[in-house]
Amino acid sequence: MRIVTWNINSVRLRLPIVERFIAEYSPDVLCLQETKSPDDKFPAEALAAAGLPHQIFRGMKSYNGVAVLSRLPLTETDSRDWVGKQDCRHIAAQVDGGVEVHNFYVPAGGDEPDPALNEKFDHKLRFVDEMTAWFGENRRAEDPMVLVGDLNIAPLEHDVWSHKQLLKIVSHTPVETEKLGQAYGAVGWVDAVRHLIPEPEKLYSWWSYRARDWAASDKGRRLDHVWVTPPLKAGIKAARVVKDARGWEKPSDHAPVMVDLDL
């Protein structure tokens, strides 16, 4: 199973590059975040025609939104609202064959890394805490699961262009990386990408639109993740960030992250 996570930053605006990606990389399961599309406007027919006819999506106008698109049949399992907000940040589906996929769009958290001063940062921290508790209470390490998404946290030193300079920048602060570590431990998750591409290799999936030449400066962060539970660890066969897609016409600021699993 080739599974891909991609913060697309408006699925309708970037439909051409999604279609191009499907044609060039043939994902079996494509998980999108920040689709920014109400369900009745979601380009379901175009994406089915591109090769992913089985679809589950939750969207809203202008903000957030998640989707799981698949070559294989899907059954929605437990799509939830977190921190008391109905903001379309999670969707879960059972893929034909028995693997449950959880697709998350964790809040970005604003600019000020102080929950007392910044409601958005407080929301982010509480969101991750709820994730941790929910998986600990409702799922087991023995369950074959994949968690993907834009988690908006770069947890490791070499997941950012400068560990020292980003320690006080939202997405790499110690409180965020600690909380993501707790979520990671909830059911014994395995970071599928770092399993095959370990530190100290630098690895990013996001590059700011603000950079005049994002590729030359290469000041990225690894915000997009694919985790698997222990039963799937031995099946991790390939992993990569498809960096080229960040340079396609009208790109997202995120690149797709792709993992091949032998099930």
Kindly state the percentage of the chain with pLDDT values over 90.
97
Supply the pLDDT for residue 111: 97
Supply the pLDDT for residue 78: 87
| Residue whose C-alpha is closest to residue 89's, from 116, 127, 61 | 127
Supply the pLDDT for residue 106: 98
**What's the farthest any 2 CA atoms get from each other in the chain?**
48
Residues 27-56, mean pLDDT to the nearest whole number: 98
DSSP type of residue 118: -
Tell whether the model's pLDDT for residue 97 goes beyond 90: no
Looking up tokens 């034909």 gives 96
Residues 92-98, mean pLDDT to the nearest whole number: 92
Task: Determine which of 20-29, 90-99, 167-176 has the lowest per-residue pLDDT on average.
Answer: 90-99
Is residue 100 helix, strand or coil? Answer: strand
Residues 6-12, mean pLDDT to the nearest whole number: 98
For residue range 143-201, list pLDDT tens digits in order: 999 999 999 999 999 999 999 999 999 999 999 999 999 999 999 999 999 999 999 99
For residue range 103-120, list pLDDT tens digits in order: 999 999 999 999 999 999
Average pLDDT, the chain: 97
Tell me how crowded residue 254 is: count the other CB atoms within 10 A of its CB: 25
Helix 174-185 crosses helix 119-138 at what angle (to 10 degrees)?
A: 20
Is residue 9 helix, strand or coil? Answer: coil
What is the value of pTM for the model shown? 0.97
Identify how many contiguous H helices and E strands the chain contains and give both numbers: 7, 14
As given in the structure block, the two tokens for residue 143 are 């369950």
Q: Using alpha carbons only, how large is the chain's radius of gyration in Å?
A: 17
For residue range 73-89, list pLDDT tens digits in order: 999 998 999 999 999 99
Domain covering 2-261: architecture: 4-Layer Sandwich (3.60)
Alpha carbons 50 and 138: distance in angstroms, whole number:
35
As given in the structure block, the two tokens for residue 165 are 């300079």
Supply the pLDDT for residue 197: 98
Tell whether the model's pLDDT for residue 226 goes beyond 90: yes
Alpha carbons 138 and 220: distance in angstroms, whole number:
34
Domain limits, the chain: 2-261
Alpha carbons 10 and 207: distance in angstroms, whole number:
17
Supply the pLDDT for residue 104: 98
Supply the pLDDT for residue 87: 96
